[in-house]
Chains A and B, each alone.
Chain A
Amino acid sequence: MNLNTDAKNTWCPGCGNFAILSSIKAVIGSIIEEGTPAENIVIVSGIGCHAKIVDYINVNSFYSLHGRVVPVASGIKIANPKLKVIGFAGDGDCYGEGLEHLLFAAKRNIDITMIVHNNRVYGLTTGQTTPTSPLGYKSRSTPFGAKELPLNPLEVVLSAGGTYLARGFSNKIDALKKTLKEAVSHKGFSLVDVLQVCVTFNNLYDYYNKNIYELEGNNIADFDEAMKRVREWDYNKEAPISLGTFYKKESASFESSFPQDRELNKKEKVREVLGRYS
């Protein structure tokens, strides 16, 4: 199946987003091959460099607003639980403007996947500090260095009730594909924080290449172990940065708690309800 569109790709050469695009296309291709009808797939994006991804993949899409990927994706999933809903967001988008939505999606365990293009800088607005930029980070909005500590998004979402948490890196495509496939296949709320390098404003390739390692043999069913692993690197001080799956838990998902669609004569029912007011 051809997943390409006519849209011209306008990301900077060398942008980490290309890795996410090619990985997710491979994942979408494989789930279609495995039997998910292409028309059941819906992708949602926010606003920022990441968001252009919906223009580049020929499946159903909702190009939404900055910070609002989660509520849009949630509404789509609740409307039709058989849809496979994948959200893309930036770090400013999802961990800043839309953090409350992210926490509630985790709290509800709604069956959507959030893939965060975390480059730790605002790209499209030309280089400002984000919620995951380190203390002292110099940017156009913090010329003398950021005065606040970064959020550790995985720690926050694990605390809020997320049932699948993982980290990827745009320079490790095979591992990224594997992680994204797992996340998309997970029944429940999944978050993949992708360390995605912005070559123009925050080129962290060397820093990441030096510190990353792949998780192996960790007990992904153990919340405490997951929390410990998630806290190993705080997005601030240099430390080993683990990639792969931290946590996975089976739990009832939010969208299945609503009444199922069924045929009914609503006009007749309205008249019946009106009678109760007599």
Chain B
Amino acid sequence: MKKDISVFIGGKAGEGIDQSGTLLAKIITAIGYNIFVYRDYPSIIRGGHTYAIIRGSERKITAHTNSVDYLLALNQDCLDLHKDKISKDTVVLFDSETIKTDALPAGIAAFGLPLTAIIKQEQATAIMRNSVILGSFCKAAGIKWETLEQILKANSHKELELNLKVAKHGFEKTNELKKTEVSESKNMPVVTGNDAITLGLLNAGLEAYCAYPMTPTSGILHTLASLAEDFSLKVIHAENEIAVMLMAEGLAYAGKKTAVGTSGGGFCLMTEGLSLAGMAEIPVVIVLGQRPGPSTGLPTYTCQTELQFALYAGQGEFARFMVAPGDAEEAYYWSTLALDIAWKYQMPSFILTDKSLSESNYSFNAQSKCFLTENKMNPALWDKKGQYKRYQNTDSGISPLAFPAQKDAVVKVNSYEHDEAGLTTEEADVTKVMQDRRLNKGNLLAEELKKYQTVQVYGKKDAKTALVCWGSNKGVCIELGEKLGLRIVQPVVLSPFPMESFTEALKGAEKTIYVENNATGQLAGITTGYGFKADKKILKYDGRPFTLEELEKELRKLLP
């Protein structure tokens, strides 16, 4: 029996598919699997086609498959647009009143229920068709009614009884069609990448968040806004991203640990503020969620096209920290560090995500060992001795912080070149000293980061062929690396670039294949600039992440 399960659910946008995807993830978690949920939706509020693929596995996964075990269809598009997801083993569950199954290949197990008639009979609302089909799915897959009941109870905020009633109809009217292996649940939380980033920032002591809504990072704004009272947070939806960045710097100057969130278009507006943070040495965290461009591009789809933009954004030369987590646990862990680094090194700190990481759901293993070590990064604070100078030259290379309303300290920050006290200067010698001091913080950070896993190696670690990936491609590459005997190298920190660790990770590799969700190979562009080889590139830039099947096919073309 298979220890991997993949379930598709689709329908019209606005019909509750999003919530059903989450419930399916929880059901599959409850029967003992690690889950990953890919979500595909158009930039439309109502009426377009939307779907989710929920995959469960006994191992940690962060990728979905193309072909599915169960296809739950709430509208005709689910069959017409997703023929490629149906194999001979697929079980199709569908709304028999609205969907024609004539085009399904012969021999496919398909079972229809009159969803609308059922909800009418119980005087339920149209959105509860989802509950009926969830009931139908559980029965078909051999999942106990009690499992579904428990999950609906824990997650239905209204009309619980009615949801249970219609779900029961679905359950009772369906036969077991393809039994799924059930084991004891590890009860892992199901979080999105955005949730993980949010919690990681809070874990580091986040005090304020500024944003203007933009897919795919709006979820962070929503969650933090809802947690503002609990965590005593200042959450501000400002007039535009320029204000977002500048407000954040005002907050940070006054001592508040602050982050901002956006996507490429909003980040364009933030770049003057970013450069200010570099010059004035204001700690700020930028969560940058990539999506396909140029310009508005495909707003609700995924890509990795803002790496080079984010690395070089902003006038002038200044150090920045940038991390590109590859899954929820990494996102949590490194978001905590990103805020700590911003404050210790007084520099902008990026968490680079994309739609795929931000909005997919993951099983979150809070027992992972990386969460057990206490972090030792603390900001340098003024010792209250002598005259305070915001930009004092110190042996450590970092000027101690003080914040307004600190007695006996006059805290002056400046976007112009400035002296130690923060007063404007145009002197050549002061300019050089200050620029060297600021840039040197990048070297100090690079040195400290040697103690961290800035580059991860997975798969067959001594294989001669290495797949190099970053961000959300981590999971799909690891699974295939293990299957095909490849070495997987994932730089997690991208600035300051971890030269030593990356060199070490590639030691003995004779062929390197870069896997990226962009059209030009942005990471390969950077690493080849440092003198590394990039023999082949597998690039996907249609807004969709790689499925396991797709990447395997591309890899096999390049392997002997």
Residues of chain A whose beta carbon lies under 8 Å from any beta carbon of chain B: 5-7, 37, 39-40, 42, 44, 47, 52, 54-55, 58-65, 68, 70-80, 82-83, 100-101, 104, 258-262, 264, 266-267, 269-271, 273-278
A266 to B406, CA, bound (A): 24
Report the tally of A-B residue pairs with Cβ distances under 8 A: 176
Mask: chain B, 208-249; 1 = CB below 8 Å from A; 0 = not: 101000000000000000011111111010111011101111
A72 to B245, CA, bound (A): 9
A61 to B190, CA, bound (A): 45
Question: Which residue of the partner chain, among B189, B205, B411, contacts A60 with CB atoms under 8 Å?
Answer: B411
Tell me, yes or no, whether B405 is within 8 Å of chain A by CB: yes
Tell me, yes or no, whether B415 is within 8 Å of chain A by CB: yes
Q: Could you jot down 27 A-B contacts, CB within 8 Å?
A: A6-B421, A7-B423, A7-B424, A39-B405, A59-B410, A63-B416, A63-B422, A64-B415, A70-B243, A72-B250, A73-B250, A75-B210, A75-B249, A76-B250, A76-B404, A78-B234, A80-B254, A83-B405, A101-B242, A104-B238, A104-B243, A259-B233, A270-B203, A277-B189, A277-B190, A277-B191, A277-B364
Q: Is the CB of A71 within 8 A of B242?
A: yes
- If A104-B243, A260-B232, A275-B189 touch, whether A61 touches B412 (CB-CB below 8 Å) is yes
Interface positions of B from 240 to 266, Cβ below 8 Å from A: 240, 242-244, 246-256, 258
Q: Is the CB of A68 within 8 A of B404?
A: no
A271 to B231, CA, bound (A): 12
Contacts of B249 in A (CB 8 A): 64, 72, 75
Q: Is the CB of B195 within 8 A of A277?
A: yes
Residues of chain B whose beta carbon lies under 8 Å from any beta carbon of chain A: 187-191, 195, 199, 202-203, 205-208, 210, 227-234, 236, 238-240, 242-244, 246-256, 258, 272-273, 276, 280, 364, 366, 403-416, 418, 421-424
Contacts of B227 in A (CB 8 A): 273
- If A72-B247, A270-B202, A274-B364 touch, whether A79 touches B407 (CB-CB below 8 Å) is no
Contacts of A68 in B (CB 8 A): 242-243, 246, 272-273
Q: Is the CB of A42 within 8 A of B404?
A: yes
| CB of B362, distance to nearest CB on chain A (Å) | 10
Contacts of B234 in A (CB 8 A): 78-79, 258-259
> Which partner residue on chain A sits nearest B26 by CB separation?
A278
Contacts of B236 in A (CB 8 A): 78
Q: Is the CB of A74 within 8 A of B250?
A: yes
Q: Is the CB of B246 within 8 A of A63?
A: no
A185 to B277, CA, bound (A): 31
Closest 9 CB pairs of A and B: A75-B250, A79-B254, A277-B189, A71-B246, A75-B247, A71-B243, A63-B414, A75-B251, A72-B250
Kindly name the residue among B404, B410, B414, B415 whose own CB sees the greatest number of chain A CB atoms within 10 A: B404
A71 to B245, CA, bound (A): 8
A50 to B280, CA, bound (A): 19
A44 to B411, CA, bound (A): 12
- If A267-B203, A270-B199 touch, whether A65 touches B272 (CB-CB below 8 Å) is yes
A44 to B188, CA, bound (A): 48
Contacts of B202 in A (CB 8 A): 266, 269-270, 273
Question: Which residue of the partner chain, among B240, B258, B404, B409, contacts A83 with CB atoms under 8 Å?
Answer: B404
Kindly name the residue among A5, A64, A260, A261 whose own CB sees the greatest number of chain B CB atoms within 10 A: A64
Q: Is the CB of A259 within 8 A of B413?
A: no
- If A72-B249, A79-B251 touch, whether A61 touches B413 (CB-CB below 8 Å) is yes
Contacts of A37 in B (CB 8 A): 405, 407
A271 to B367, CA, bound (A): 11
Other CB < 8 Å A-B pairs besides A39-B404, A61-B411, A258-B228, 16 of them?
A7-B423, A7-B424, A60-B410, A63-B416, A68-B242, A68-B273, A71-B242, A71-B243, A72-B253, A75-B210, A76-B250, A79-B251, A79-B256, A104-B238, A277-B195, A278-B187
Kindly name the residue among A37, A64, A261, A277 whose own CB sees the greatest number of chain B CB atoms within 10 A: A277
Q: Is the CB of A55 within 8 A of B423?
A: yes
- If A79-B255, A258-B234, A266-B203 touch, whether A278 touches B188 (CB-CB below 8 Å) is yes
Contacts of B253 in A (CB 8 A): 62, 72, 75-76, 79
Kindly name the residue among A37, A74, A276 whose own CB sees the greatest number of chain B CB atoms within 10 A: A74
Q: Is the CB of B242 within 8 A of A55?
A: no
Contacts of B243 in A (CB 8 A): 68, 70-71, 74, 100-101, 104
Contacts of A79 in B (CB 8 A): 208, 234, 250-251, 253-256
Question: Which residue of the partner chain, among B188, B240, B421, B424, contacts A52 with CB atoms under 8 Å?
Answer: B424
| CB of B431, distance to nearest CB on chain A (Å) | 16
A135 to B20, CA, bound (A): 61
| CB of A50, distance to nearest CB on chain B (Å) | 13
A271 to B280, CA, bound (A): 35
A257 to B125, CA, bound (A): 38
> Which partner residue on chain A sits nearest B234 by CB separation?
A258
| CB of A176, distance to nearest CB on chain B (Å) | 25
| CB of B239, distance to nearest CB on chain A (Å) | 4
| CB of A21, distance to nearest CB on chain B (Å) | 15
Contacts of B421 in A (CB 8 A): 5-6
Contacts of A40 in B (CB 8 A): 404-405
> Which partner residue on chain A sits nearest B235 by CB separation?
A258
Question: Which residue of the partner chain, among A64, A258, A262, A267, contacts B276 with CB atoms under 8 Å?
Answer: A64
Contacts of B415 in A (CB 8 A): 47, 63-65
- If A58-B410, A270-B203 touch, whether A78 touches B208 (CB-CB below 8 Å) is yes
Contacts of A47 in B (CB 8 A): 415
A278 to B232, CA, bound (A): 24
A65 to B274, CA, bound (A): 11
Q: Is the CB of A266 within 8 A of B247?
A: no
Q: Is the CB of B246 within 8 A of A64?
A: yes
A160 to B246, CA, bound (A): 21
